[in-house]
Structure 1
Amino acid sequence: MSDSNATVVLSQGQGRTIRVIAWLGIVGGILLIVVGIVAWIGVSTQLRAENITIPDDAMAMQGQQVTGPISAYIQADVINHHALEATDGSTYAELDRDDPARQTVMTASFLRASLFTSVVSFGLALFAAGVGVLFILFGVALNVLVPRHRAQPAPATE
């Protein structure tokens, strides 16, 4: 039978170790959030510097500049659509080596890969920030669960 009101007694050293781990988690979480934000801003700035505008035949965001993960994905999709249109639906691997469209499709493939790399980078930045939030929450929870030991008053002597 388990007692739901069980108490765990920690030595002063154990409590101190857990609090240090908690604070390391909080600091690590803050660093992960900062790194995630810096990565997001860096990738977004680089995409913005390319000055890519989503064409009118895109599935969404027509006329907008590529600056984030959704617009990068949409632009990659448009490039794929245009490349397949230029080859009557054939991919790079399906084209003959001497096909004049092969260079165009290869360039489109490289552009798509670059855009998808930025989409993945945005995802990793968001993941890092999310893990940072969890680290902070776990650190705070540990600090709440393991309060500081207070000095016990010396026993009275007679």
Structure 2
Amino acid sequence: MSEPTYAHTTSPRGVRTVGLLSIIAGIVLVVAGAATWWVVTDQLKAQNITVSEDAEWFGGKQVNGPVDAYSQAQVIDKHALEATGGKTYAELEQDDPLREVAMNASFLRASLFTSVVAYGVALFAAGMGLMWILMGWSLRRLAP
């Protein structure tokens, strides 16, 4: 009994087309990632937030990137816990006037952490775009 033979149906033109589409998708992802990074940076700069001098990192620096946004979020938490005697919003009694301090600190931290996440997503998108460009380029190089 002989082995079955299969016709090779993948055309070089189809592979090159998929490669080109991959390159285009990659470029779109890189541009989207870069645009997101720029918009988040621009919005953070517009808020004129300065990292507290007593922060572990970047004290006195304007918040305009993921690391200094994270640093400021950490120092906000530190200050809020100092103000509330180490208690979080959920741990304070409902009528405690310090509950508003804890709530505002929580909102500020969440906003800063949202920007940190946005930077991460932007970097991921750009990195995936680079991978798609490289895969598309490879496919086009392999197809005659």
TM-score of the pair, normalised by structure 2: 0.93
Kindly provide the amino acid, as one letter, of the partner of residue 84 in structure 2. Answer: T
* 2:126 maps to 1:129: yes
Q: How does 1:57-96 map to 2 (within 5 A)?
A: 57-96=54-93
Structure 2: which 5+ residue stretches go unaligned? Answer: 1-6
State the structure with more CA Rg.
1
Alignment of 1:44 with 2:41, yes or no, is yes
Counterpart residue number, 1:99:
96
Aligned residue type for 1:46: Q
2:108 equivalent in structure 1: 111
Runs (4+) of structure 1 exceeding 2 A deviation are none
Q: What residue identity is the alignment partner of 2:126?
A: A
Count matched residues.
138
Shift of residue 17 of structure 1?
1.3
SS at match of 1:59: coil
* Secondary structure of the corresponding residue to residue 11 of structure 2: helix
Secondary structure of residue in 2 paired with 1:62: coil
Residue 10 of structure 1: how far off its partner (Å): 4.9
Judging by fraction of residues, say which structure has more helix: 2
Q: Identify unmatched segments of 5+ residues in structure 1.
A: 1-8, 148-158
Return the offset for 1:14. 2.2
Tell me the amino acid that sits aligned with residue 104 of structure 1.
Answer: V
Provide Cα deviations, 1:103-135, integer angstroms capped at 9, x if missing partner. Answer: 011010000000000000000000000000000
